[in-house]
Structure 1
Amino acid sequence: MTIVVILHILILIGFGLRILIRDDLEPPVRLAWLIILLVLPFIGAIIYFLFGEVDLGRSANRRHDEVWARMRRWGANFLGDPAVTDDLVDARYRPAFRYSASINGFHAVPGNRAELMTDAAETNRRLIADIDGATDHVHVLYYIWLTDTTGTDVARALIRAAERGVTCRALADGLGSRALIRSGLWREMADAGVQLGVALPLRNPLRTMITSRIDLRNHRKITVIDGSVTYCGSRNSADPEFRVKPKYAPWVDIMLRFTGPVVSQNQLLFASDWAQTTGENLDVIPVPPQPADPAGFPAQVMGDGPTERQGATPQLFATLIASAHHRLTMSTPYFVPDETVVQALMAAAFRGVEVTMIFPENNDSWIVAGASRSYYRQLLAAGVRIHEFRGGLLHAKTLTIDDTITLIGSTNVDLRSFDLNYENNILLQDRGTTEAVRARQSEYLVSSREVSEAEVLGWSWYRRARHNVLATIGPVL
């Protein structure tokens, strides 16, 4: 017993010192890890060993830096000109666009158009039609790509395109799309000439757990056709019924179909993932210049991930929230934010902005659901309105500001998206597009129930304690 106690103390000292000397941890995260080490003897150390370090390894970091250094030279003509941001973006929102550009160099470009897809069926129909109409290339990247109807439709369209001579490149995340990667459909795509890549592969899961983290994933959803059309939103290549978790269905997603110069930026983001995954040079990816529509709007791509600057995404959210003057509406399936975002939301409500949050009532992660609800009381007290969606799992990640600004893409408002996942989004300024997204958010609200402060105050002490415990360990979820 004495040996066990001594060993436990040595483990606590060793891992505790490691946690204390890390400069990349915020105090709440550091505290959460120390609590786990203390309350879960030995097991806590194993958890930290497997999940404590947010690092893909030196070779991955070096490869990322090399690819992006070349990207900024090779794709300079498509990154946008910071000098013209002031001419494109309203003064109230320039700080947000400038901050977004600081993350990976994509500045606002003019002349874009966007069309909001009606539902999953229209998204699938339009996307397949675009692939079937491709004449030069098709590029796709999905976190979850299933062998259901939607996933198979996309795969078959790529096969048809490859067979008629179109260059097709497809990336799938090694964990989220593991069933497809092992399937006959994946082999059929390869046999037809579709060039395939596995982002963050799990060839040796044990080695991955020892040297990195198995949950560092590529969560992006990118589709680019002929360099002239791109889709951006929350939808994976999967049916709304999401048969891997059918009890929470339907998955309710949102997608925009873009044309204009912002397509080239999404192409560059795909190119960076392709180069890092396959080792090929960036210049194998064509980036044809796209004409700017004189009546179009300014937009820019934002990509984030564990190899980018830490804290970039929550800081962008805080900057966007601070720019709101009248109305801010946000939908997200997973809400486990850092203090930066929570305080920004409360500050916006205190200064009179109409702040509305929409979360799913039934979440596929009970841990995330509990942690999310721990924030309800302070948000409601500040004047934030909270609604819980009852029409399935609301998976749409949307942020609209003052009926003018929209942020849409793959990023959830949680620490996993902030710190662990590769994400992609498009930030735009356009009243028409934002009004369309706002109308969709209003549809979500119709299928939601509003949570009152009185209801939250009426929760049992046990429920409130459980939510707060989950929030306490939120930084390590």
Structure 2
Amino acid sequence: MNGKVGIGLFILMLGSTWYLLLEEVGVRGYLSLLLTLSLMIIGFSIFLENRHPIQTITWIIVFGGFPIIGFIFYFLFGRNFRKERKFQKKYFLDKHDFLKSPDDAKYDIRKKRGVETRHRKLFSFIEKLGNSPMSFATKTTILTNGKETYSTILKELMNAKHHIHLEYYIVRDDDIGGAFKDVLIQKANEGVRVRFLYDAVGCWSLARSYIDELKHGGVEIVPFGPIKFPFLKSTFNFRNHRKILIIDGSVGFIGGLNIGDEYLGLNKNFGFWRDTHLMVEGEAVRTLQLIFLQDWYYSTNRSFLTDDYLCTSQSLQPDLGGVQMLAGGPDNRRTVIKDLFFTMITSAEKSIWIASPYFIPDDDIFQALKVAALSGLDVRLLVPKNPDKRIVFHASMTYFSELLEAGVRVFQYDTGFMHSKIVIVDGELASIGSSNIDMRSFHLNFEVNAFLYHTESTQTLVEDFLKDLEVSNELRFDVFSNRHLGLKVLESTCRLLSPLL
């Protein structure tokens, strides 16, 4: 019997079973019938979406075992069908010809001169992913941890003359959040155009007074994906996880840090916060600017695709290594960030080093890492020892046994919380940005990453990664495999939810 037909019949049987059970109880009536029919329709819709079979089966199990909870969870987190239609306007703008540089011809020359032959196919693929040419005239600087990141950002903000564009997933009304607010209001009063895009769910607890102060101070601040009726809004689960800052079109920042005191290690629950950010100067800022302007247009219907915002004011020599900005999200037909990681992993010849606070890979990334390790490559994974999201943390542990058995070296960062999001291949290719190695970043969130080739920043990432390993504990397959049965049960239970996380 065809697999789809089998799943469809199972859904119908499941719905019928629940209906008969509810018929026996009494209270039932129309509410019971409505719930049963709703679950049957939802289940059939999921079946028609052609999701991964594991995701489909997971939802069916949730509906069967916990119908009411499953119903609520589906409307909160599960509705990714027709997501491209939900973001049709944004998808159209993201594909606009404005992404192409008027000087595209220069890039072909630079590629031939600056790129090793073995990497040209990789670069061609990455340029298609990013829908823009790679820049060889962009300077990048690694900012290690919150203190260096925030001090650099606040300094650059004070130098702004024309505009400031910010886009963050989380903003806190605390000391560092207050410092940002004061600088933005000051610059707005000086005549600088300040536009601030924040995610409505990530900033759910942000005080209204904080937003009002910015508005009254002349800052244009708007939410991305506002939620008024969570149970009726199908875009609730698609969040803007990007962290972008552009100043005057010539300086940009992306990475793992949002705006909040915890990123300075001031939260007692987390302690020291290990994170990485990237400062960008030169040509690639233009692509970063475009990503922001596209998100701003989607949220406000206002477009600023003009030379005032799209011409970089800084010209650098084309010998700084390759830099490419890639934006991924549910508005794109491709899983851009996942495709970037997969391509980097499968192109590796010596080593693959990954740091990710949340590790729930899909089958493609999981198998690619195991194959790489079995082939003799130096594959290392750095994750936190101390979790901030326990379900995700326990679910990620279930992947380690197979990785360890294949030869992957897994390290748990033991000095506070590790939040860096880094992929380094062969010590010369690297990715840094907002994306984790998990299902949510691959399929549900709007993310942005920078791809780096033979830059000084790549070497800094290598050095920082090795320093992080010095304060981490390496897992041993024999010890890890003998952990407590109760812990294994908990982890396996959380693993069942991994396609939904």
Q: TM-score, normalised by structure 1?
A: 0.92
Please tell me whether residue 141 in structure 1 is matched to residue 167 in structure 2.
Answer: yes
Deviation sequence 1:113-148 (CA, Å, 0-9, x none): 111224321211111111111111111111111112
1:216 deviates by: 1.8
Alignment partner of 2:217 out of 192, 205, 213: 192
1:287 aligns to what?
Answer: 310
- Indicate conservation of the 8 Å contact 2:394/2:494, yes or no: yes
Alignment partner of 1:74 out of 98, 118, 126: 98
Q: How does 1:427-466 map to 2 (within 5 A)?
A: 427-466=451-490
1:277 deviates by: 0.9
Give the Cα separation in 1 of the matches to 2:408 and 2:278: 27
Deviation sequence 1:194-248 (CA, Å, 0-9, x none): 121211112x1x2x43131423211100011111111121010112367996412
- Indicate conservation of the 8 Å contact 2:195/2:219, yes or no: yes
SS in 2 for 1:264: helix
Give the Cα separation in 2 of the matches to 1:120 and 1:27: 41
Please tell me whether residue 171 in structure 1 is matched to residue 193 in structure 2.
Answer: no
1:123 aligns to what?
Answer: 149
Give the Cα separation in 2 of the matches to 1:80 and 1:411: 28
Please tell me whether residue 236 in structure 1 is matched to residue 222 in structure 2.
Answer: no
Give the Cα separation in 2 of the matches to 1:80 and 1:238: 39
1:301 deviates by: 0.5
**Mean alpha-carbon deviation: is it higher for 153-162 or for 102-111?**
102-111
**Mean alpha-carbon deviation: is it higher for 31-40 or for 43-52?**
43-52
2:29 aligns to what?
Answer: none
Give the Cα separation in 1 of the matches to 2:103 and 2:323: 11
Please tell me whether residue 273 in structure 1 is matched to residue 295 in structure 2.
Answer: yes
Alignment partner of 1:4 out of 10, 14, 22: 22
- Indicate conservation of the 8 Å contact 1:234/1:409, yes or no: yes
The 1:240–1:413 alpha-carbon spacing in structure 2 relative to 1, beyond 3 Å, is: same
Please tell me whether residue 422 in structure 1 is matched to residue 449 in structure 2.
Answer: no
Unaligned runs of 5+ in 2: 1-18, 24-31
2:3 aligns to what?
Answer: none
**Mean alpha-carbon deviation: is it higher for 451-460 or for 242-251?**
242-251
2:42 aligns to what?
Answer: 15
Alignment partner of 1:364 out of 366, 388, 411: 388
- Indicate conservation of the 8 Å contact 1:103/1:308, yes or no: no
Give the Cα separation in 2 of the matches to 1:382 and 1:59: 41
The 1:56–1:424 alpha-carbon spacing in structure 2 relative to 1, beyond 3 Å, is: farther
1:83 deviates by: 4.6
Deviation sequence 1:155-178 (CA, Å, 0-9, x none): 211111111111111111112123
The 1:470–1:169 alpha-carbon spacing in structure 2 relative to 1, beyond 3 Å, is: same
- Indicate conservation of the 8 Å contact 2:168/2:259, yes or no: yes
The 1:294–1:73 alpha-carbon spacing in structure 2 relative to 1, beyond 3 Å, is: closer
2:136 aligns to what?
Answer: 110
SS in 1 for 2:222: strand
2:370 aligns to what?
Answer: 346
Amino acid at match of 1:26: H
1:472 deviates by: 2.5
- Indicate conservation of the 8 Å contact 1:266/1:301, yes or no: yes
Please tell me whether residue 306 in structure 1 is matched to residue 344 in structure 2.
Answer: no
Give the Cα separation in 1 of the matches to 2:472 and 2:70: 38
- The number of residue pairs the alignment matches comes to 470
SS in 2 for 1:328: strand
Q: TM-score, normalised by structure 2?
A: 0.88
- Indicate conservation of the 8 Å contact 1:240/1:252, yes or no: no
Alignment partner of 1:249 out of 271, 278, 299: 271
- Indicate conservation of the 8 Å contact 1:357/1:387, yes or no: yes
Amino acid at match of 1:144: I
1:464 deviates by: 2.1
Deviation sequence 1:61-99 (CA, Å, 0-9, x none): 221133224xx3234227956755842433333444333
- Indicate conservation of the 8 Å contact 2:225/2:235, yes or no: no
Alignment partner of 1:220 out of 223, 242, 248: 242
Deviation sequence 1:427-460 (CA, Å, 0-9, x none): 0102522110111112211221001101121113
Q: In angstroms, what is the RMSD of aligned CA positions?
A: 2.4
- Indicate conservation of the 8 Å contact 2:337/2:449, yes or no: no
- Indicate conservation of the 8 Å contact 2:239/2:444, yes or no: yes
- Indicate conservation of the 8 Å contact 1:80/1:108, yes or no: no
**Mean alpha-carbon deviation: is it higher for 370-379 or for 292-301?**
292-301
Give the Cα separation in 2 of the matches to 1:57 and 1:318: 23
- Indicate conservation of the 8 Å contact 1:173/1:218, yes or no: yes
Give the Cα separation in 1 of the matches to 2:66 and 2:334: 28
Amino acid at match of 1:349: A
Amino acid at match of 1:338: D
Alignment partner of 1:264 out of 249, 274, 286: 286
Give the Cα separation in 1 of the matches to 2:235 and 2:245: 27
The 1:96–1:465 alpha-carbon spacing in structure 2 relative to 1, beyond 3 Å, is: farther
Please tell me whether residue 334 in structure 1 is matched to residue 334 in structure 2.
Answer: no
Deviation sequence 1:10-38 (CA, Å, 0-9, x none): 45543332222113x11221121122122
- Indicate conservation of the 8 Å contact 1:78/1:265, yes or no: no
Greater Rg over alpha carbons, structure: 2
**Mean alpha-carbon deviation: is it higher for 29-38 or for 138-147?**
29-38
Percent of aligned positions that are identical: 28
- Indicate conservation of the 8 Å contact 1:112/1:299, yes or no: yes
The 1:440–1:79 alpha-carbon spacing in structure 2 relative to 1, beyond 3 Å, is: farther
The 1:440–1:242 alpha-carbon spacing in structure 2 relative to 1, beyond 3 Å, is: closer
2:321 aligns to what?
Answer: 297
Give the Cα separation in 2 of the matches to 1:78 and 1:369: 46
Amino acid at match of 1:195: E
SS in 2 for 1:286: helix
Give the Cα separation in 2 of the matches to 1:64 and 1:22: 22
2:493 aligns to what?
Answer: 469
Give the Cα separation in 2 of the matches to 1:59 and 1:471: 30
Amino acid at match of 1:257: M
Q: How does 1:21-36 map to 2 (within 5 A)?
A: 21-23=48-50, 25-36=51-62
